[in-house]
Amino acid sequence: MMEFQKKRKIEAVVMEKGDSPVRRWEDLDINILVTILLSFDLFQLIYAIPQVCRAWRLVCCDPLLWKTLDLSVLQSNFIRLPLKPYVYVDSPSEKKLTGLLNICLNLSRGNIQTLIFHTNLYVNDNQLTFAAERCPRLKRLVMPFWNKIKKRTMCRAIHIWKDLESLTMPSINNPARVIEEIGRSCQNFSALKIMGTCDMLFASALASFLPNLEVLSVRCTVLSKPALAIILEELKKLKVLNISHCIITEDPEDPPLEPMNILTELDESILEKASRLDKFLTCMSDSCIMCQRALNDQGFMRWYKYEEDLWKVDEVKSLAV
């Protein structure tokens, strides 16, 4: 009888354990799940995770997952042309970017604060407009080096991004319109990186429309001494200036086919003007590989020739990608 009762007790314990509910993946604490999902890459987050279950699909919209949309993993397939538009982008590349933006911007629900494009990703007017409308709270934008975007489209986007604080942009002809729109629409704007030539027109536009600029990087490009003087004299609130690996020329614009009159060191007048800055970052060394590359490329860096992520580098930490 005692053995029989002992056996029944054991069976009851087994039964209790067998009847206990099994925890499902969708019951995982949301905060823990979000922390886990932060370690996944973009493509896993938008294509794989939402397929697990409805609860995980909803978690993929959590604002913490969408503070930054980093599209530096995506490049366009393109062919360079000698005449306008200077580049041909194949249709699959454009469709892939459009599809990716559509998914990401729907999941993000307007929470993206940093948007990063690869330097060789060709973004068109429609794609940028869509991004602007769906990312109204954007604070930092890293544009591609080459682009197919009209100035009026860029200005409309900037008008939407009233919280914009930092911009990495290619050099453009007659930049006043874009720079003026930044000054008018983005009251908190403080940091600019130019991936291209900063000529007298660009420097003058900065002085006229962005007098409160605090951080400026014009590394690895051609920068004339007069343009540098404008930057140092007119941008009264500038705290950090990065001209590392720049080709500093004596004259505002050297005539076509004429050799550039390159300075080997900065003179006392420039150094004195720069002494008020918190940081003045320079490098003009013959032994520096980046200085040599800038010189070989005549100040128009062919980033595609070098290490994959070299274009992301900046001596100013806040402007590095």
* Each residue's pLDDT tens digit, 224-271: 999 999 999 999 999 999 999 999 998 776 555 466 788 889 999 999
Alpha-helical segments (H) within 109-224 = 125-134, 151-160, 176-185, 200-209
User: Which residues have C-beta within 8 Å of that of residue 149, sequence separation ≥ 6?
Assistant: 123, 124, 125, 128
Q: Is the pLDDT of residue 221 over 90?
A: yes
pLDDT of residue 3 exceeding 60, the answer is: no
Cβ proximity of 248 and 284 under 8 Å: yes
For the cut 60, the answer to whether the pLDDT of residue 80 exceeds it is yes
For the segment 147-184, what is each residue's pLDDT rounded down to a tens digit? 668 899 999 999 999 999 999 998 777 789 999 999 99
- 9 dihedral zone (left: phi>0; alpha: psi -120 to 50; beta): alpha
Q: Would strands 140-142 and 166-170 be described as parallel, antiparallel, or unpaired? A: parallel
First to last CA, the chain: 76
Contact indicator for 281, 240 with CB cutoff of 8 Å: yes
**Other beta carbons within 10 Å of 230:** 20
At residue 14 the predicted structure's pLDDT band, cuts being 50, 70 and 90, is: very low
What is the mean predicted confidence (pLDDT) over 273-301? 94
| Exposure string over 121-148, b if 16+ CB within 10 A, otherwise e | bbbbbebbbbbbebbeebbbbbbbbbbb
CA 70 to CA 111: how far, in whole Å?
A: 14
